[in-house]
Amino acid sequence: MLIELTEIDKSYRDRQGQPVSVLKQLSLQVEQGAFVALSGASGCGKSTLLNILGCLDRFDGGEYRFDGENVGAWSEGQRADLRNRRIGFVFQAFHLLPFLAVEANIALPFMYNHHGQRPSHEHIESLLKSVDLEGMSQRYPGELSGGQMQRVAIARALVLGADLILADEPTGNLDSAVAQGVLDLFELLVQQGKTIVMVTHDPAISARADRQIKMEGGQIDSDNRRESVGRAK
Amino acid sequence: MSAAKNMSAAFQVAAAMPGRVILLALPVAAATALALATLAIDQGLSAKAEQAARSFGQDVISIRPGARVIAGQSGTATSLSAEDVDALLERLRGYKAIEGTRREDNVPTSAGSKSGRYKLFGVRPPWADVRQFGADRGDFLDDDDVQSSARVCLLGQTPTRELFGDQDPIGQEVTINQVPFRVKGVLVTKGSSPAEGDRDARIVIPVTTFYDRLYKRVHLDQIVVQARDSEQATLAKLEGDIQSILRTERKLKEGEKNDFTIRLPSTIAEQSRGVSRNVFYLLLGLAGVCGLAAVFLIVLVYGQAVRSRRGEIGIRRAMGATPGDILIQFWAEGLVTSVIGGLVGVLLGIGGAYGLAASRGLEFGFGPLVVVAPLAIVVFASLAGLIPARSAAGLDPAEALRPQV
């Protein structure tokens, strides 16, 4: 099991200092190679859940095991290292650095790698080829379309060989044809053994995943798996 | 290794935003340049002023006509006379020598085809000892020269060089204000002082010749009294006695101001740079204001940059950056700006000090303060970058990645 969340509690304090519960006793297991869509109304806790899965946020109670390790108890340095090597992030707003060319944007995670991994032009070119952006390594984000920028962001998420891709509304800024292209890419990655957890509002997008989890009030409301799953794991 | 990578990230950002680097480096450069140039010139002037005070003599009191004026020149005041010298010679006790001089500036002087304008001093023989300004070559004036109003002179190093070049001027003829003189000797080298400028650009003739043959001037331009020793108590007593004698001579009433100025050796250096000191304080203050502006701008602009780059901070954290990485990167961005500004400022400051010194015939000195003050400005500007860097490092990554409304 790649992800095991057990009875996770998470609350914030509002402006008056009162605690507001966002996740309540939430338990979730995600196996390696799964393609999970998280949906639910605004404020239901799906982005908070994604942040906890990505070790970007801490929780108040419960346990989070990533690939068997109790990462909830890890130091900030260990969690940063885990994010760097094993978790890739894809966001609605792409978050590419506008002053860096595509190749430098994709190589950015190497900057925070403490295991001697170094970027190579060949590796990045092959990644660009896999996301249909061959020959664009010297372009700047401002010269790319929304779909191309999201593909660069996906390549960046994969550059250090992440097992888990966390995608927060990855198609939110894309038109539907381009969005389908990104989902095709995600399906391909899942076939290669990557695990994807994707937050989306769109039922059509959600339907492309193997597993649809609907959240409500900080808890899992429904968890449906698609029957006809025939992908290589 | 990680710090080096974060520094390189800072360079990437700086290279992408040269306008911002220039904007922020400018006040750092201005502050550094101003502080460096001001202090370098100031130290040069201080050294010169001390030298001037030393060369004036530690046992010499100077009396100038007119109420005290700051720059050392007393304009057209005509309050000192030969009678004052006589009165002092008669009633003052505890002095070694008393000497009254007449002086005229910009006196046209020529030798053969060459000419120039120099300060002309009419003096008596004791002047050489009192002012430590005797003959380097040839002979100084003697009593016979004074008695006979002889047309003899001693040239300073500057007229010697300009009028005679490599030739020996002794025994040669020079024309001073259309009157021919024989050169009797060449004065010792004195260099320049902030108050007087080139002290070698002078010619000395007998005081009687000055009056009889050149300028029918009754008043004296300066009286110098040489004390028996350079003890403060001796000098202070002499100063009091001189003041009392001259006030009596002038019949000045109680409460009436002196129409002459007495300067002791200890105040010569101080007075010779009175105005310049204030100007330097002003310039140093300006450097301080520029430094503060630099610090303020760095905090303000980088603080704004942290707010506008929340997404970048969030994605860097998501990719594995620790708060320490973010701190180093954002601080290094400010550091790059401060160091560039500092380097430009040092170059401008050295250039400015050198140019100013060359154009005004001054020197500049490089004491510890000249190095420490600009360095302090750069260090403060660099430390200022820590404030926005700390707020960048403290940003919650989940919060930073949340879409801004």
Helix (H) or strand (E) holding B136: strand B135-138
Helix (H) or strand (E) holding A219: strand A219-225
Same domain, B85 and B212: yes
Same domain, B125 and B176: yes
pLDDT recorded at residue A96: 94
Asked if residue B61 belongs to a domain, the reply is: no
A-chain residues near B317 (CB < 8 A): 56, 80, 83
Token readout for A144 is 């790319």
B119, B124, B132, B205 from B128: Cα distances, Å? 16, 8, 5, 12
Q: Is 60 exceeded by the pLDDT of residue A7?
A: yes
Q: Which of B13, B15, B397 sits opposite A56 (nearest CB)?
A: B397
CATH number, residue A123: 3.40.50.300
**A157 vs B361: CA distance, rounded Å:** 66
pLDDT band (50, 70, 90) for residue B271: low
pLDDT recorded at residue B74: 43
Kindly report, residue by residue over B102-157, the tens digit of the pLDDT.
Answer: 888 899 999 999 999 999 999 988 888 888 788 999 999 999 999 999 999 999 99
Asked which of A39-53, A112-126, B267-281 is least confident by mean pLDDT, the reply is B267-281
Asked if residue B9 belongs to a domain, the reply is: yes
Same domain, B229 and B353: no
**B223 vs B88: CA distance, rounded Å:** 10
Q: How far is B308 from chain A (nearest CA, A)?
A: 12
Averaged pLDDT of chain B: 85
In chain A, the number of structural domains is 1
Neighbour tally for B261: CB within 10 Å: 18
Neighbour tally for B8: CB within 10 Å: 12
B-chain residues near A114 (CB < 8 A): 2
Asked if residue A40 belongs to a domain, the reply is: yes
In chain B, the number of structural domains is 2
pLDDT band (50, 70, 90) for residue B194: low
Same domain, B293 and B185: no
Q: Which residue range(s) make up the domain with B397?
A: 2-50+274-401
Kindly report, residue by residue over B50-90, the tens digit of the pLDDT.
Answer: 766 666 677 888 888 876 544 444 444 667 888 888 889 88
User: Per DSSP, what are the bridge partners of residue B186?
Assistant: B137, B155
Radius of gyration of chain A (CA): 18
CB B353 within 8 A of CB B364: yes
Give me the residue label for tokens 């000249």: B370
**B47 vs B41: CA distance, rounded Å:** 10
Same domain, B244 and B299: no
Same domain, B159 and B241: yes
pLDDT band (50, 70, 90) for residue A230: very low
Same domain, B248 and B279: no
Same domain, B225 and B307: no
Q: How far is B6 from chain A (nearest CA, A)?
A: 8
Look at residues B362, B365, B300, B372 and name the one whose alpha carbon lies nearest to residue B334: B300
Q: Which residue range(s) make up the domain with A151?
A: 31-56+83-225
pLDDT recorded at residue A61: 94
Same domain, B42 and B177: no
Asked if residue A171 belongs to a domain, the reply is: yes
Interface test with A, best of B21, B313, B319, B404 (most A CBs within 10 A): B319
pLDDT band (50, 70, 90) for residue B2: low
**Domain closes at, from B211, B227, B258:** B258
Q: How far is A210 from chain B (nearest CA, A)?
A: 26
Same domain, B35 and B112: no
Look at residues A158, A184, A160, A161 and name the one whose alpha carbon lies nearest to residue A171: A184
